[in-house]
Amino acid sequence: MLELKLSLLRILALVKKEFIAMWMDPGTRKILFIPVIIQSFVFGYGATFNLEKIPFLVCDNAKTSQTIRLVNSMQASGYFELYGSFDNLTLLKESLDLGEGLIGVYFAPDFPARQEILVLEDGRNSTSAATALGYLQQMLNIDEKISYRYYFNEHNITRYGILSGMILALSMIQVLMLSAMTVSREREEGTFDMLLMTPATSFEILIGKALAPLCVAIIQGLLLTIICHFYFNIYLVGNFFAILTIIFIFSLCEVGVGLAISAVCKSAQLSLVCSFLVMLPSIILSGLLTPLEAMPPWLVSVVKVCDPLYYGIDALQRVYLEGQSLIEVGYLLLPVMLLGIVTLAIAARLFRKAL
């Protein structure tokens, strides 16, 4: 019992030391919370596929009352803004090549008989062009008997999905950077040898260095949740405790990855590079910004085996937007916990070897 109490005291002392080291280092202190807040606003306003204004070009060689009515309806919709009107298709294509419009609408002289519209899209901005085409198709089919509804996101605002997913993605960036540099930074500063002279065991040092970035990640995740809920009005349907639990489990997994990097790398700069090599593919392949359905099957298999962010984002969005419970998303949290056990075990082995 006495030995357990002494071990806990040593771990608490190590955690205190890590927080003091974070706060005393000007570079680390600056990246603790301010960058996360700034990035949440950048993604909140900038990372959206919903188009406010769609510049379009038109070439009307039919010149009928129907074509004039269709062009006027596009402008009156509030989404489309006419940037140019041309007499022939060649001029329309040239203007589209210059980037003067996102889509071009062409009415051929035989439009009254064929009722066909040629729509040219700027494929250099494929996502926006596809969204604009969807708006146009929806407007042209307005008279048809179509009834639809978006579940869990009534107005189909992409900010809802992106920002709720960024709660874990932005926390991952911080926890990886902090945990990956914890040992390598001490090696450079010359304090690592002094740490080895303390009564703390390698396991206690591992726990002490893991808890500090873990606490920072949880605080950042909660801060981002508050910004999403109160500032961007993305209503939290689920349980706040469930969100906290998901952030904790995911952050614990990423701490293991960061500590493994820190144990292997000999310098803080190398740790930072390795962190980005892990971080960027994890975010890109998580399904947050690009769907897994667009990836080849072998890459999807790799993501489902190696990327905890894929499962973490899915679980968090189901709780945040749908209101599911921890039990309902347990099948998604189980792979994250398994990956966390594996990463922490690897980190412990590498850490012990490094010591």
- Give the pLDDT confidence of 122-151 residue by residue, as tens digits: 776 666 777 787 788 777 764 444 444 555
- Give the pLDDT confidence of 67-84 residue by residue, as tens digits: 888 888 888 887 888 988
Q: What is the pLDDT of residue 308?
A: 92
Query: What are the structural domains, with CATH classification, of the chain?
Result: 14-47+158-354 (no CATH), 54-140 (3.40.1710.10)
d(CA 34, CA 127): 30
d(CA 144, CA 74): 17
At 54, which helix (H) or strand (E)? Answer: strand 54-60
Torsion angles phi and psi, residue 179, rounded to 5:
-75, -30
- Mean pLDDT for 248-263 is 86
Spatial contact of 310 and 339, defined as CB atoms under 8 Å apart: no
Whole-model pTM: value is 0.76
Q: Of 15-24, 41-50, 208-217, which range is least confident? A: 41-50
* pLDDT grade for 50, boundaries at 50, 70 and 90: low
* pLDDT grade for 49, boundaries at 50, 70 and 90: low
Angle at which helix 2-24 crosses helix 202-226, to 10 degrees, equals: 50
d(CA 214, CA 211): 5
Q: Which two tokens stand for residue 303?
A: 């993501």
Q: Which amino acid is at 259?
A: L
Of 179 and 149, the one with more pLDDT:
179
Q: Which amino acid is at 5?
A: K
